[in-house]
Structure formats: C-alpha cells, structure tokens
C-alpha cells in the first residue's frame, strides 16, 4: 500500500522514452524508410565491411589479452596481501573514471615512435601508434576494469576448502588452479569478456588519437559514422548505426544469458 | 613462495605499464614546458570557456538523471509489475550503445535534415551544434548511473520501514523524505559521483552534436582534441590534466564511500574487508 | 477507547492461489485476540487486511463505526507492529516514537511529554538517544510497540511480535504485553504460530488453517473441546489411535477393547493427550517402556506393544514414585480422550477410567 507508484512510473517511462527510446525508434524508422535493399547496400560496401572487421578483430584481441591479464590482476588483488594493494585495487577503476579523450591523447603520445613506450619498441621495429596495433592497446586500456571487476567477486567467493583438499591429494598449485579454481571462475570470466568486447566495439575517444584512422586498415566503425555525418550522408551513417545497434543488442542478450548462468552456478 | 612473488610482480608491471604510465604521462606532458606555460594554458580564454561549458552541461545533466534515478528506484524497487525486468534492461541500454550512436540519434532528431529539423529552424531554435544538443547527448549517455546504484539497494532494503510509516499516517512525500532518503543518500552520492565523472568527461556523443567551434561550443574534452589536433601538445595536456585530476578525485571519493559506507551501498559494492 | 472490529466474508487470493476464503469474525471491544495457525493459514494476510496494508478481493472490514475496507492505512486508527520491528534505522529511539506525532505536526512540547510518557511505559527512558542497531531484540520490539501507540490507535495489531526473540525474552515480553493490555484496554489482535503463546496471552483464540477459521473460543474451551483432529493435534502432542465402533464398543486395530461410547457404528479416530496416558508397572502388562526422557519438571515416556507406540507424560516426581524405567512392563490406563467419528462431525468425550486389557 505504498504511495507514489503512478507518478514515479510515469516520470521514469516518460524520461526513458524521450531520452532513449524515442530517438532509437526514430532511427529505426529512418532506416525502414530507406528500404531493405538500400540498407543492405550501405552496410556491405567494402569500406564498411573492412572497418567492421577492424573493429571486431581488434576488440576480440583486446578482450582476449585482457581476459588473461585481467584474470591475473584480479587473482593477485584478491588473494595476496602486499603493500599498496588497496591503491592498486582502486586504480583498476581508472579507465572508468578517466575521460576517453584524455586517455586517447595520453596513449597516443605514449606509444608514438618518440614516446616513452613507443621509443622503447621502435628499435625492435614494433610500431604501435597509428597502426592497427594501437587500436588494440587503446581497447585494452578502456575495457580492463570490466574483466577485473566481474571476476573479482567470484574469486573472493571461492572456497579454500576445495583447494586445500586438492593440495592434500597431491596436486600442484597449477593443477589446483586449472582443475578447480579456473572452472569456477570461467562463467564470470566469459561474462567479463563479453562486457569488455561490447565496450571496446563502441569506444571512440580513446582510440581515434592512437589509431591511424586509415579507411579499411585502421579505421573503426564509430569513426566511419563520424565521417559520414561530416559529409551529411545521413543515410549511410544511419545504416551503420543500426548495424552497430544490432550487434550491441545481440551482445547485450548474450551477456544477460551469461550473467544468468553465473548466478545459477553461484547459487544466488 | 616464489610463485606468488612472480605473479604479483607480473600483475603490477602490467598495471603500471597499462594504467599508471598513461596517467603519469598526462601530467608529465602538461608540465613539460614548466609551470608558467601550464598556468597560461589553463588561463587561456578558450580553455576557460570550455571549462565553463563542461560545468554547465554537468550541472544540468547530473541533477536531471538524479531525479530520474530516484523515481526509477521508487517504482522499480518497491513494486512488482509486468515488464519490470524489461524496464531495468532498458535503463541499462545507454551503457551498451556506443557514444557516437547517441550523438547520431540526436542528429537524426534535431539536425537540419532530421525529423524536427525543419520545425526547429523555422522557429529559430538551435539544438544541434549548441548547448541543448550537447546536454541531451550527455543526459543520454549518463542516464543509467544513478539508477543502477539505487535500484538494487532499495530492493535489498525492502519496504518494511516504509510500510510502518504508512500505518503511522505519513504521506508519500513524508515517507520518502524522512524514512527513505536517509537510507539511500550514500548510494545516491555514489551514483552522482560516477554520473558526474562521465558527464564531464563525455567525448564521443558530444563530439557529434557539438559545433566544434573552439571557444564557443567546446567542452573541455573537445578542447583537448582541438588543441592536440593543432599540435599544441602541451596545452592539450594541460587541459587534459584538469580532467585527469577530476578522475583522481572521483576515484578517491569512490574508494572512500566504499570503505566508510559499504553497508549503505548495494550488495555488489561490498567487497570483503581484507 | 474500545473499538469493535468486524470482518465480513473477506476473501483474498494471490496469483490464482486463495489465501483467505470467505472469512467472518467479530473482535469484541477491548479484547485481546490471537490468530493462531500454521504457516500458510492466512493469518498474517488477514492482519494486514485489517491494517489496510493490503486490500481484500471481496468482503468488508468495519472498524468501530466506519467501513474501513477502502480506507488508507494511515486513516484507520490502527497501530501495527511488524514481526521484524521495522524501526527507522536512521532515527533514534526518541525520533522513532515521535515520528507519528511529527507527521501530524503536533506542537513540540506535546511531543516531548508524550514520548517521555511512552518511554516510561516501555521502561526504556535511558535509551532514548540510542539507535535501533544498538538495541537488543526485546528492546526493539518495545520501541516498535511504543511507536505504534504514539498515534493513539483505537486498534493494535501485532504480527508474530515475539517470533524473532529467544525463549526467556519472549516470556518476559508476554507478561509485559498482558499487563499493558489490562492497563490500556485497546482492542488488540496478534498473530502467532506458537500455541503456548496464544493460550498464555489471549482472551480468545481463533485457529486458522488454509485460509479459513477452524475454531474460535477461549483457550480453555478450545483445548478441552477441539472441533477437529487438526485442531486437536495443533494444540499439543497427542496420540492418534484409529478405532472401530461396533455396538457401542470402541475397539483398536488389533481387536483390543478400549471402552464404550454412545456412537453409531463406523470408523473413528481416538486422540489421547500424553498426560491422559497412565502407565502402571505390571509384570503381566503387554506394554513395554521403550524410552524415558525427563525435561525438567516433566517426564516423557514412550511405550510400545508390537507395532503400536504411545506417548505418555507425567511429572518428574510421579515418574520417580512409579518406578518406571526403560524396559519395564506396564499396563495402560486412559484418563481421558476425544473421539472424532467419521460418521459424525465434532468431538465426543470418552468416559473416565478406561482400562486396557491385553487381548490377542
């Protein structure tokens, strides 16, 4: 018998519609207006397909690397005590808090041939900035917290008794990890991977400075959309936007499924 | 064990290289020409107006989404109704959409060739390439932040105290103000903190809808891009350093809230006190 | 302030599942009434309907002179005490109790005196500035009660008020609530699943099951005259013996004659309380004491004969006097019991002094 249901629901729905849903509907309506064949034509140009591939490949690589390193960081932060642990833990959220443009110019300068890290790699012929590799690095930066923060709670909840039992039976630490801890962490790791992947795909600000933005080589989807808007090609921009939205929805759906799986496994 | 030391070292080296260095680099570059140059970069009128623009946008977007978050937490957290789970998913939508798409949406609605474009120009109302458009884009992107902190908390806390207040004769507003608000204030603050950090730092969405006229319709992140693009590296980093400091303050306050008020944030935020 | 509550044909269902079915009840002014029943019986739902925290699908609820069925909970003049207290965690004890008065914008001096009065009533003056988290369960419950009383309700409703407390505190609070009720004479209804608590506190007990009322009456009445096997078993431990009635004789399953009763032929159930089962040591007895356990002042025995077993209870002193031990052979006398015949509804008293003979 609590009061206030109707007004709060009305405000919530109204706000959600005006800000989010309405505009999305308008975009879908625009796309419908251009006809199916025109839509397909827009999203299957060589440039779009190549850029899509650049986005997907880079996000995949970045998320994969982050899965490995993120798991390590999460493990170390949760399991071990060492001086400065709390600060390190707080720092994991830095990519969340740091504006993307700042991250962008910083990474770009850092990995440029005359930058702190780029300079170290140049003698070996490794170029990062303004190459496709730069995109991966930037994506790794901004999506790292997604993996770490998703996996940490699961690691915290691991039961030490299971690992102790395995030790007693003669398993080495590596075996214990691979056979006992890792399978328990896996669902959360996959969820984190999916979240990181989704975020990396849509990222713009941190990438444009360090990427070469060369069409078909080091140009990501969001940049393509920007280009088309600059040229007032609303149709093209909308088509690609809808494509990206479609991919986002599919990912969102997959993530929800994964999270439900994690909850079931975790017994919550 | 040696194993442990090795793992810790690798993890820390990774973090230093990937997280700490970029952060330090910002300040190092900003101060690379000395404090004097730093100060004058910040004092530059264009940068000043960009700061002002950023603050204005945040001052509008954050309170708006705060009210939204509070309303959403009341109807979603306290009542059961069909479609509730769908509503929760929809609120999370801006999280999974690229910021550039957010900007694109605004353009499709309000741009010259957009749905309302003709009507707007006939009435001489400027949304795109002006403050209103940038505010709307920012509101879009920061919509979920407060809601997703408060909704789970309200669900966890339950309705008993509020029901007790009903039996004691309190009106809806009295119940919210006296009984509910004290319980959620820290979660609200946490949400506002994150919302603000994102609002001030938003780049992609605002980039699309802004006129990008440096000195007039630039926010601070856009000013950073502008300066960097015109090879005024040191100035760009000076502006960036302000945003980096904002990020650090946000992180510190966030950690402080998680430490001191962990009971009053929702369950997922409560890390075990190790 | 004595108010009558009338519940007429009230029904409530959730998700296609009926929780209350056509319930009718009148609570007399100034009465202390217990709603007793197992979980799922609908007793808490009924209480919440009276409070207005929920609305019935059908029926009417009248509080005093007013039809309260569609009235807002704040306007019914009802004080509600929740099972888990629902104290406002961010307010001190004083502020919690003052809340209903502040809501009504009562003048400050009045609030001061009224809250002080209530604090004295619940004997917690010293803890006025403490916060709920700093109080024990029993203290919190008293604060919740004081808060409900602050709005000067004409009806007091308590939902399993002592359920979350340990046994000693529970007994203390029971006595205290009884005294409070005698002093204030407010019509009070409380919900419980604890038979002992209901019988200890209430003027009248209403037993509920599966959304309906099984029986109502004074504690003694109900105990002596349970209306159905369910009520009999719910109110305390009992031995259940299936019997056959033939020609006025009551016979057990293996043919042993239990006694006589003026009942038509047919199957029936005999319920006997453990303290009405009196074992007497006898070398020729066909019963054997299987187990003895003494829980303080009471002793419980389990007696077996073949596949049958009976529970008996007596005072610890009586046990010592009788000389009964595990393994002793005994004969059994019944000093009371209730038969529920399937051909007739309602209980029939058995005569006194039935003696069981050994029969093949």
Q: Which residue of B has its CA nearest to C88?
A: B161
Lowest-confidence segment of A132-136, B112-116, C95-99 by average pLDDT: B112-116
At a CB cut-off of 8 Å and minimum separation 6, what does B169 contact?
C74, C75, C100, C103, C104, C151
Q: Is B47 exposed, middle or buried (0-12, 13-18, 19+ CB in 10 A)?
A: buried
Distances (CA, A) of A38 to A227, A239, B140: 19, 9, 29
Q: How do residues B69-101 score in pLDDT, each as one tens digit? A: 999 999 999 999 999 989 998 998 898 889 999
Q: Choose among C72, C88, C151: nearest Cβ to B161.
A: C88
Chains that touch B (3 or more CB pairs under 8 A): A, C
Q: Kindly state whether A130 is in contact with chain B, defined as any CB-CB distance less than 8 angstroms.
A: no
Q: How do residues B155-202 score in pLDDT, each as one tens digit? A: 999 999 999 999 998 999 999 999 999 999 999 999 999 999 999 999
pLDDT in tens, chain A (268 residues): 789 999 999 999 999 999 999 999 989 888 888 888 888 888 889 999 999 999 999 999 999 999 999 999 999 999 898 998 989 999 999 999 999 999 999 999 999 988 898 888 888 888 888 888 999 999 999 999 999 999 998 898 888 888 888 888 888 888 888 888 898 899 889 989 998 999 999 999 999 999 888 888 889 999 999 888 888 888 889 999 999 989 888 888 888 888 888 777 765 4
pLDDT band for position C181 (50/70/90)?
very high
> In chain A, what are the domain boundaries?
36-265
Q: b/e per residue, A107-125, with b = 16+ CB within 10 A?
A: bbbbbbeebbbbeebeeee
> Is A144 in contact with B203 (Cβ distance < 8 A)?
no
At a CB cut-off of 8 Å and minimum separation 6, what does B251 contact?
A90, A91, A93, A94, A97
Q: Is the pTM of this model over 0.90?
A: no
> Is A106 in contact with B197 (Cβ distance < 8 A)?
no
* pLDDT (0 to 100) of residue A74: 95
Q: Choose among B170, B178, B179: nearest Cβ to C74.
A: B170
pLDDT greater at residue C349 or residue C341: C341
* pLDDT (0 to 100) of residue C351: 52
Q: Kindly state whether B178 is in contact with chain C, defined as any CB-CB distance less than 8 angstroms.
A: yes
Task: Locate A210 and state its tokens.
Answer: 């360090």
To which residue do tokens 């005294």 refer? C179
> Is A19 in contact with B140 (Cβ distance < 8 A)?
yes
> Is A102 in contact with B89 (Cβ distance < 8 A)?
no
* pLDDT (0 to 100) of residue A57: 93
Q: Does the pLDDT at position B269 exceed 80?
A: no
* pLDDT (0 to 100) of residue C352: 47
Mean pLDDT of chain C: 87
Q: Choose among A69, A201, A252: nearest Cβ to B14.
A: A69
Q: Kindly state whether B187 is in contact with chain C, defined as any CB-CB distance less than 8 angstroms.
A: no
Q: Kindly state whether B169 is in contact with chain C, defined as any CB-CB distance less than 8 angstroms.
A: yes
Contact C5, C61 (CB under 8 A): yes
Of B62-71, C13-22, C66-75, C348-357, highest mean pLDDT = B62-71
Cβ atoms within 10 Å, residue B100? 29
| HEC letters along chain A | CCCCHHHHHHHHHHHHHHHHHHHHHHHHHHHHHHCHHHHHHHHCCHHHHHHHHHHHHHHHHHHHHHHHHHHHHHHHHHHCCCCCHHHHHHHCCHHHHCCHHHHHHHHHHHHCCCCHHHHHHHHHCCCCCCCHHHHHHHHHHHHHHHHHHHHHHHHHCCCHHHHHHHHHCCCCHHHHHHHHHHHHHHHHHHHHHHHHHHHHHHCCHHHHCCCCCCCCCCCCHHHHHHHHHHCCCHHHHHHHHHHHHHHHHHHHHHHHHHHHHHHHHHCC
Q: Which residue of A has its CA nearest to C55?
A: A1
Interface of A with B in 27-46 (CB under 8 A): 27, 30
Task: Locate A45 and state its tokens.
Answer: 């140009």
Q: Kindly state whether A230 is in contact with chain B, defined as any CB-CB distance less than 8 angstroms.
A: no
Q: How do residues C197-250 score in pLDDT, each as one tens digit? A: 999 999 999 999 999 999 999 999 998 888 888 898 888 888 988 888 887 778
Q: Kindly state whether B131 is in contact with chain C, defined as any CB-CB distance less than 8 angstroms.
A: no
Q: Which of A176, A134, A5, A256 is nearest to B88 (CA)?
A: A256
* pLDDT (0 to 100) of residue B31: 92
β-pair type (C204-209, C187-192): unpaired
Q: Kindly state whether A21 is in contact with chain B, defined as any CB-CB distance less than 8 angstroms.
A: yes
* pLDDT (0 to 100) of residue C357: 37
CA distance B169 to chain A (A): 12
d(CA B261, CA C261): 71
The CATH architecture one would assign to domain A36-265 is Orthogonal Bundle (1.10)
Lowest-confidence segment of B138-142, B211-215, C259-263 by average pLDDT: B211-215
Q: Does the pLDDT at position B110 exceed 50?
A: yes
pLDDT band for position C340 (50/70/90)?
confident
Name the β-bridge partners of C295: C298
Chain B residues with CB under 8 Å of A2 CB are: 78-79, 159, 162-163, 166, 172, 175
Mean pLDDT of chain B: 90
pLDDT band for position C68 (50/70/90)?
confident
Q: Does the pLDDT at position C360 exceed 60?
A: no
CA distance A2 to chain C (A): 8
Chains that touch C (3 or more CB pairs under 8 A): A, B
> Is B71 in contact with A11 (Cβ distance < 8 A)?
yes
pLDDT greater at residue C95 or residue A268: C95
Q: Which residue of B has its CA nearest to A81?
A: B274
Q: How do residues C313-339 score in pLDDT, each as one tens digit? A: 999 888 888 888 888 898 888 887 788
- For residue C33, give the H/E element and its range: strand C32-36
Q: Kindly state whether A82 is in contact with chain B, defined as any CB-CB distance less than 8 angstroms.
A: yes
pLDDT band for position B217 (50/70/90)?
confident
Task: Locate A52 and state its tokens.
Answer: 């899509």
Q: Which of B164, B264, A69, B230 is nearest to C157 (CA)?
A: B164
Q: Which residue of A has its CA nearest to B162?
A: A2
Distances (CA, A) of C230 to B65, C24, C241, C346: 57, 20, 14, 12
> Is B15 in contact with A92 (Cβ distance < 8 A)?
yes
Q: Kindly state whether A2 is in contact with chain C, defined as any CB-CB distance less than 8 angstroms.
A: no
Chain B residues with CB under 8 Å of C147 CB are: 164, 168
For domain B35-265, give the CATH number: 1.10.3720.10
Q: Kindly state whether B89 is in contact with chain A, defined as any CB-CB distance less than 8 angstroms.
A: yes
> Is B166 in contact with C147 (Cβ distance < 8 A)?
no
Chain B residues with CB under 8 Å of A94 CB are: 19, 23, 247, 251
* pLDDT (0 to 100) of residue C346: 54
* pLDDT (0 to 100) of residue B213: 60
The 3-state DSSP class for residue C248 equals coil
* pLDDT (0 to 100) of residue C354: 45
Q: Which residue of B has its CA nearest to C80?
A: B167
Chain C residues with CB under 8 Å of A1 CB are: 52-55, 72-73
């Amino acid at each position: 018998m609590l009061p206030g249901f109707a007004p709060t629901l009305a405000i919530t729905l109204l706000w959600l519609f005006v800000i989010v849903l309405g505009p999305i509907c308008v975009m879908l309506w625009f796309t419908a207006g251009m006809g199916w064949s025109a839509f397909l034509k827009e999203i299957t140009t060589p440039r779009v397909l190549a850029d899509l591939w650049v986005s997907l490949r880079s996000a995949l690589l970045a998320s994969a690397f982050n899965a490995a390193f993120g798991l390590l960081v999460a493990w170390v932060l949760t399991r071990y005590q060492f001086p400065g642990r709390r600060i390190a833990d707080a720092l994991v959220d830095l990519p969340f808090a740091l504006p993307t443009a700042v991250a962008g110019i910083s990474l770009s300068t850092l990995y440029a041939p005359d930058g702190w890290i780029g300079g170290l790699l140049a003698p070996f012929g490794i170029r990062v900035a303004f190459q496709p590799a730069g995109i991966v690095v930037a994506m790794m930066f901004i999506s790292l917290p997604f993996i770490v923060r998703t996996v940490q709670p699961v690691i915290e909840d691991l039961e030490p008794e299971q690992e102790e039992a395995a030790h007693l039976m003669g398993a080495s630490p590596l075996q214990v990890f691979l056979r006992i801890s890792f399978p328990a962490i896996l669902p959360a790791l996959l969820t984190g991977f999916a979240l990181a992947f989704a975020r990396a795909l849509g990222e713009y600000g941190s990438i444009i400075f360090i990427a070469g933005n060369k069409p078909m080589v080091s140009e990501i989807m969001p940049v393509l959309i920007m280009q088309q808007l600059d040229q007032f090609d609303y149709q093209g921009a909308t088509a690609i936007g809808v494509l990206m939205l479609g991919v986002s929805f599919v990912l969102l759906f997959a993530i929800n499924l994964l999270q439900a799986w994690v909850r079931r496994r975790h017994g919550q | 064990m040696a194993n442990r030391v090795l793992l810790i070292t690798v993890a820390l080296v990774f973090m230093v290289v990937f997280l700490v260095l970029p952060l330090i680099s910002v300040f190092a570059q900003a101060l690379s020409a000395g404090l004097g140059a730093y100060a004058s970069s910040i004092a530059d009128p264009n940068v000043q107006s960009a700061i002002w623009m950023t603050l204005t946008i945040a001052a509008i977007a954050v309170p708006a989404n705060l009210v939204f978050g509070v309303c959403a937490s009341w109807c979603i957290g306290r009542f059961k109704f069909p479609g509730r789970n769908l509503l929760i998913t929809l609120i999370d939508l801006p999280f999974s959409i690229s910021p550039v798409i957010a900007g694109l949406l605004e353009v499709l609605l309000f741009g010259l060739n957009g749905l309302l474009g003709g009507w707007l120009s006939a009435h001489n109302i400027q949304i795109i390439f002006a403050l209103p458009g940038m505010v709307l884009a920012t509101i879009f992107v920061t919509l979920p932040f407060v809601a997703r902190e408060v909704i789970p908390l309200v669900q966890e806390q339950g309705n008993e105290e509020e029901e007790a207040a009903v039996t004691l004769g309190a009106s809806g507003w009295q119940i919210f103000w006296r009984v509910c608000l004290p319980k959620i204030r820290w979660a609200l603050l946490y949400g506002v903190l994150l919302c603000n950090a994102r609002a001030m730092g938003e780049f992609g969405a605002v980039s699309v809808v802004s006129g990008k006229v440096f000195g007039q319709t630039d926010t601070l992140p856009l000013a950073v891009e502008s300066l960097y693009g015109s090879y005024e590296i040191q100035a760009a980093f000076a502006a960036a350093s302000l945003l980096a400091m904002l990020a650090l303050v946000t992180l510190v306050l966030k950690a402080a809230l998680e430490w001191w008020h962990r009971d009053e944030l929702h369950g997922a935020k409560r890390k075990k006190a190790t | 302030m004595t108010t009558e509550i009338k519940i007429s044909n009230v029904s409530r269902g959730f998700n296609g599942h009926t929780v209350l079915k056509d319930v009718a009840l009148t609570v007399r002014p100034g009465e202390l009434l217990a709603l007793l029943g197992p979980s799922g019986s609908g007793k808490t739902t009924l209480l919440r309907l009276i409070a207005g925290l929920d609305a019935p699908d059908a029926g009417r609820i009248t509080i005093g002179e007013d039809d309260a069925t569609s009235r807002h909970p704040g306007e019914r003049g009802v004080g509600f005490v929740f099972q888990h207290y629902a104290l406002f965690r961010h307010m001190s004890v004083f502020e919690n109790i003052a809340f209903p008065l502040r809501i009504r914008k009562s003048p400050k001096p009045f609030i001061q005196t009224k809250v002080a009065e209530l604090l004295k009533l619940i004997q917690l003056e010293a803890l006025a500035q403490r916060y709920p988290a700093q109080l024990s369960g029993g203290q919190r419950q008293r604060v919740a009660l004081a808060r409900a009383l602050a709005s000067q309700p004409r009806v007091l409703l308590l939902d399993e008020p002592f359920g979350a407390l340990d046994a000693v505190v529970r007994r203390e609070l029971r006595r205290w609530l009884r005294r409070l009720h005698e002093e204030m004479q407010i019509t009070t209804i409380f919900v419980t699943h604890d038979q002992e608590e209901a019988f200890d506190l209430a003027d009248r007990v209403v037993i509920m099951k599966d959304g309906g009322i099984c029986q109502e009456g004074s504690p003694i009445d109900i105990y002596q005259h349970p209306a159905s096997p369910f009520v009999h078993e719910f109110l305390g431990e009992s031995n259940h013996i299936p019997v056959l009635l033939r020609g006025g004789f009551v016979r057990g399953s293996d043919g042993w004659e239990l006694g006589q009763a003026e009942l038509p032929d047919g199957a029936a159930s005999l319920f006997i309380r453990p303290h009405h089962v009196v074992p007497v040591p006898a070398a020729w007895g066909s019963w054997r004491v299987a187990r003895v356990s003494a829980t303080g002042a009471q002793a419980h025995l389990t007696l077996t004969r073949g596949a049958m077993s009976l529970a008996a209870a007596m005072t610890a002193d009586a046990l010592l006097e009788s000389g009964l031990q595990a393994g002793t052979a005994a004969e059994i006398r019944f000093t009371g019991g209730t038969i529920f015949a399937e051909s007739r509804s309602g209980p029939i008293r058995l005569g006194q002094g039935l003696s069981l003979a050994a029969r093949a």
